[in-house]
Amino acid sequence: MRHTEINELLQSEPSLHEVIVRGWVRSFRSNRFISLNDGSTINNLQCVVDFSSVEEEVLKKVTVGAAIEVNGLLVESQGKGQKVEVQVSGIEILGEADPEEVKLTILSPKRHSMETLREQAHLRIRTNTFGAVMRLRSKLAFAVHEYFQKNGFYYMHAPIITGSDAEGAGEMFRVSVLDPEDLPLDENGKVNYKEDFFGKETNLTVSGQLEAETYAMGLGKVYTFGPTFRAENSNTSRHLAEFWMIEPEIAFCDLDGNMDLAEDFIKYVIKYAIDNCGDDLEFLENRLLQEEKSKPQAERSEMSLREKLRFVLENNFKRVSYTEAIEILKRSKPNKKKKFKYIIEEWGADLQSEHERFLVEKHFKCPVILFDYPAEIKSFYMRLNNDGKTVRAMDVLFPGIGEIVGGSQREERFDVLNQKMETMGIPQDELYWYLDLRKFGTAVHSGFGLGFERLVQFVTGMGNIRDVIPYPRTPGNAEF
């Protein structure tokens, strides 16, 4: 007989048929009631032991954390909280777990801090919280692909090793096989990367956007969904050094079409989570409610987790120009009373998370799309507006998160792009291929980037981005 997943059994009717189930022991009470979980659901399956059919030596090995196989009849449950349970007729120990060692890990029943859970990231997936988060992450990833595939996009694998800096920020991880103890030098005493593996200086990608643009100009609509890397020394609850990015690029699409796409896409994947992850969302919502009780009243969220998700689905995203947003912020109470850490004094300021969240949570009270940013604070590839000082950029702002999407209409005019690259010190010789797109059938095109972990963080309600990726990479931390 094949074994049946717990998720399937819990949705079954009592059958009096023999079933086989495998999983890890969550608890074993009164030497009779085994609570079993196999990762397929947040819910445990109760297995009731019949002493006459299971040897005492076997029962001694049924400890928290142990992997076991149980066979028995699926019967109507006598207890509350579940419809069915297994009347055990046999147990096989698949993998023992020493109770004394379990006490030293997060598998022990006592409550643990999130920091402790991060220190044992190889075991934290066995907890209810991380099981729920990672099942949701998986479903959201599927929804991302489903949305784009249903809407005629082609999945493109952008290179992870690159010789270009798409953002022009310079915060990149270098890729090299040169011996740091014996670096080859050129005539100027600098490292000679011509002797390196790729014959030039290379880095881990910060974005697949530029390469995706080249494919959009041949396939029409493409998207990337892969790992990206930023060597920012940011020890915050919102930043990772390694994270996953979703980046659609669309030919013959202007900024308005880009904003439409971003809103439609976000609503689709959130609705998919609501429709397909009910048990996990209910658990995470209750967890968040308990967490909120320890906060001062003023800091508590006005909405529960699922209310917040439905709020995004049911409200149109408010579209506001950067110029209008600056005026709102300048006149705001937190700005006048100097409650903002970064005071808004004049047009041209680079908005911080506190400003973005004020606009979303306090002023408009709905998701916001800001557009037409000052050219000086945005990347070289964004299309210059006719005023000569703003670009066709847009950011989608969410409650509790701030910026979740950043995008723009791309600069399709060769002469304008060439001039911008020169002014901003972007090497044209390295990005000759990017400029070539503007020579051979250039066209209006747009795209955006969405940090997948920020999306998972919003949907799960987790407070720290390190808790929505299996093994977080942050400054000073590359464990596991």
The pLDDT, as a whole number, for residue 218 is: 97
Residue 189 within a domain:
no
3-state secondary structure of 355: helix
Structure tokens at 370: 């800001």
Look up the pTM and report it.
Answer: 0.94
Q: How many domains does the chain have?
A: 2
Residue 374 within a domain:
yes
Interior/surface letters 354-392, b for 16+ CB within 10 angstroms, e for the rest: ebbbbbbbeebebbbbbbbbbbeebbbbbbbbeeeebbb
Q: Are both 99 and 150 inside the same structural domain?
A: no
CB 36 within 8 A of CB 68: yes
Residue 177 within a domain:
no
Residues lower than pLDDT 50 in the chain: none
Residue 18 within a domain:
yes
Q: Are both 142 and 50 inside the same structural domain?
A: no
Q: Are both 142 and 22 inside the same structural domain?
A: no
The pLDDT, as a whole number, for residue 166 is: 65
Residue 123 within a domain:
no
C-alpha 358: how far from chain center:
23
Q: Are both 222 and 337 inside the same structural domain?
A: yes
Residue range 252-302, pLDDT digits in tens: 999 999 999 999 999 999 999 999 999 999 999 999 999 888 888 777 787
The pLDDT, as a whole number, for residue 170 is: 62
Say which CATH number the domain at 343 has.
3.30.930.10
Q: Are both 95 and 162 inside the same structural domain?
A: no
Q: Are both 13 and 68 inside the same structural domain?
A: yes
Q: Are both 42 and 139 inside the same structural domain?
A: no
Q: Are both 425 and 310 inside the same structural domain?
A: yes
Say which CATH number the domain at 28 has.
2.40.50.140
Q: CA–CA distance from 356 to each of 110, 363, 401 (Å)?
A: 38, 10, 9
Q: Are both 13 and 151 inside the same structural domain?
A: no
Domain boundary among 56, 72, 105: 105
Q: 264 exposed, middle or buried (CB, 10 Å; 0-12, 13-18, 19+)?
A: exposed
Residue 196 within a domain:
no
Q: CA–CA distance from 285 to each of 129, 288, 292, 460 (Å)?
A: 11, 5, 10, 8
Q: Are both 398 and 292 inside the same structural domain?
A: yes
Tell me the residue range of the domain where 462 lies: 128-171+206-467
Q: Are both 326 and 373 inside the same structural domain?
A: yes
CB atoms within 10 A of CB 270: 20
Nearest-angstrom CA–CA distance, 211 and 180: 31
Residue 186 within a domain:
no
Q: Are both 134 and 67 inside the same structural domain?
A: no
Residue 443 within a domain:
yes
Residue range 418-455, pLDDT digits in tens: 999 999 988 898 899 999 999 999 999 999 999 999 99
The pLDDT, as a whole number, for residue 51 is: 81
288's CB contacts (< 8 A; 6+ apart) are 301, 304, 305, 461
